[in-house]
């Protein structure tokens, strides 16, 4: 059967007539053409969600700013850690260096890339996995498990021990030139493998290439410190910390966090990912010797239960979401009712796909990591609104904070990181089971930036 259907003059005439006959279309046209879709569809009642007082509310100190970089996953991770430092030292604000893990992530990710290039060296360049590896080998984005690997190996440092540089806050040119260098390195490695180079020759070439990565990073970011002096006073001028530390010593003493206790729990309600199973993603990681990522997929009620429990115990929660969806950015409000787009166009645009279908059809995935710092609860103890610490500066939202409705949490949150003590025995056993490997391009392998 011929399925071709060309748009005819009759089709166009009918569309014109139907549009003009509807008064709502004409009003919508005037509003959108003058102010844009977002302004015309904005629901003013949704802005009322932007409360500043919560039943459970953690205070974090000065808001951080990732500027023109994709380091949200690092900022969110460091924000959970600096909270511990602040509580331990009794200070109102404190900041850990975000340039420090950026340096190590770029170096480790370059090594991870070369590892995978060699692992696929017998495949043609047209192979989908090889093409995937070459597409974006050194982007800024990442996930919690990758940050955990960096901190386990390299520790953390106060911001003054490795401050921001132009290219830590503006990473596009750094990424552009390093990516080009890595692709040239991939060619050299594949060519050497094709010429039957032995393991020693390939290892020497990798070492040479990584030396070049170090040089670029050191020029753009400065070299990371091996040790540093610390003097931290509280608001009363009392000296709370003093001495010389390595990054690993500083983490152990002041963050004092068992990183292996913190697990990634996802909500992916798609038919190919049954709940109660563990998953990993092929090629996703950075530190070779620490392996890749691992999640357990659970219903959304489980993610909320764990997040609320950790907040009640006085600790923030790292989470990943699709932040661009239903977001009144100026108001700092995230809610499915934020924009009445379907009413504006009289079409099933936002309601046309549920959460599973949005994942399956490429409409949504995790794009940004932030930190849960509070929650409102109803009479039954169920969450109604969530207080979110962002990393876009204090001129965003409510002095750097956003507020999400629980309905938005249901639809657009994909991952939380919690202490394993909040998982049931069955949930923990599911996490520890042999993981199912997802394809590199699976939406649950998306990197928050």
Active centre residues (catalytic) = 72, 368, 390
From the list 161, 133, 73, 158, the residue with the least C-alpha distance to 367 is 73
Supply 130's token pair.
């090889």
From the list 386, 375, 440, 442, the residue with the least C-alpha distance to 413 is 386
Helices (H), 90-143: 99-119, 128-135
Question: Can you count the helices (H) and strands (E) in the chain?
Answer: 16, 14
Strands 436-438 and 317-321: unpaired
Cα(435)–Cα(295) distance, rounded to whole angstroms? 8
Cα(157)–Cα(247) distance, rounded to whole angstroms? 5
Bridge partners for 277 per DSSP: 297
192 membership: H or E segment, kind and range: helix 172-194
Cα atoms found within 13 Å of the Cα of residue 447, Cβ hemisphere only: 19
Cα(223)–Cα(100) distance, rounded to whole angstroms? 9
Backbone angles phi, psi at 192, to 5 degrees: -65, -40
Q: Residue 378: count other Cβ atoms within 10 Å of its Cβ.
A: 10
Q: How many residues does the chain have?
A: 449
Cα atoms found within 13 Å of the Cα of residue 206, Cβ hemisphere only: 21
Cα distances (angstroms) measured from residue 387 to each of 143, 367, 409: 21, 18, 11
Bridge partners for 232 per DSSP: 241
Do residues 154 and 289 make contact, with C-beta atoms less than 8 angstroms apart? no
Give the single-character DSSP code of 337.
T
């Amino acid at each position: 059967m011929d399925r071709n259907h060309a748009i005819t003059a009759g089709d166009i005439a009918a569309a014109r007539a139907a549009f003009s006959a509807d008064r709502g279309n004409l009003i919508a046209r005037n509003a959108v053409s003058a102010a844009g879709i977002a302004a015309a569809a904005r629901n003013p009642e949704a802005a009322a969600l932007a409360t500043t007082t919560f039943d459970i509310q953690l205070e974090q100190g000065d808001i951080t700013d990732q500027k023109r970089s994709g380091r949200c996953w690092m900022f969110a991770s460091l924000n959970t850690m600096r909270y511990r430092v602040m509580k331990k030292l009794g200070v109102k604000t404190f900041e850990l260096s975000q340039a420090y893990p950026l340096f190590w992530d770029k170096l480790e990710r370059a090594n991870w890339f070369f590892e995978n290039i060699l692992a696929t060296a017998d495949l043609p360049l047209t192979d989908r996995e090889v093409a995937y590896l070459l597409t974006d080998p050194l982007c800024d984005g990442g996930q919690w498990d990758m940050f955990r690997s960096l901190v386990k190996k390299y520790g953390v440092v106060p911001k003054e021990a490795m401050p921001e540089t132009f290219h830590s806050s503006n990473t596009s040119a750094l990424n552009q030139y390093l990516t080009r260098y890595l692709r040239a390195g991939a060619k050299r490695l594949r060519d050497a493998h094709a010429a039957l180079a032995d393991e020693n020759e390939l290892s020497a070439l990798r070492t040479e290439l990584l030396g070049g990565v170090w040089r670029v990073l050191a020029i753009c970011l400065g070299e990371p410190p091996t040790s540093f002096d610390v003097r931290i006073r509280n608001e009363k001028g009392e000296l709370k910390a003093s001495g010389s530390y390595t990054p690993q010593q500083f983490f152990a003493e002041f963050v004092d966090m068992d990183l292996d206790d913190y697990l990634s729990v996802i909500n992916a309600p798609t038919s190919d990912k049954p709940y109660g199973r563990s998953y990993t993603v092929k090629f996703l990681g950075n530190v070779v010797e620490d392996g890749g990522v691992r999640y357990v997929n659970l219903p959304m009620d489980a993610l909320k239960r764990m997040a609320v429990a950790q907040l009640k115990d006085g600790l923030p929660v790292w989470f990943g979401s699709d932040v661009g969806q239903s977001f009144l950015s100026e108001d700092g409000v995230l809610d499915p009712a934020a924009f009445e787009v379907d009413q504006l166009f009289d079409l099933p645009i936002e309601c046309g796909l549920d959460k599973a279908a949005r994942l399956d059809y490429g409409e949504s995935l995790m794009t940004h990591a932030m930190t849960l710092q509070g929650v409102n609860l109803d009479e039954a103890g169920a969450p109604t609104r969530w207080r979110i610490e962002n990393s876009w500066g204090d001129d965003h939202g409510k002095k750097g904070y956003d507020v999400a409705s629980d309905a938005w949490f249901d639809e657009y949150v994909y991952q939380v990181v919690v202490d394993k003590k909040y998982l049931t025995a069955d949930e923990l056993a599911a996490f520890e089971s042999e993981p199912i490997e997802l394809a590199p391009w699976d939406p649950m392998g998306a990197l928050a930036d």
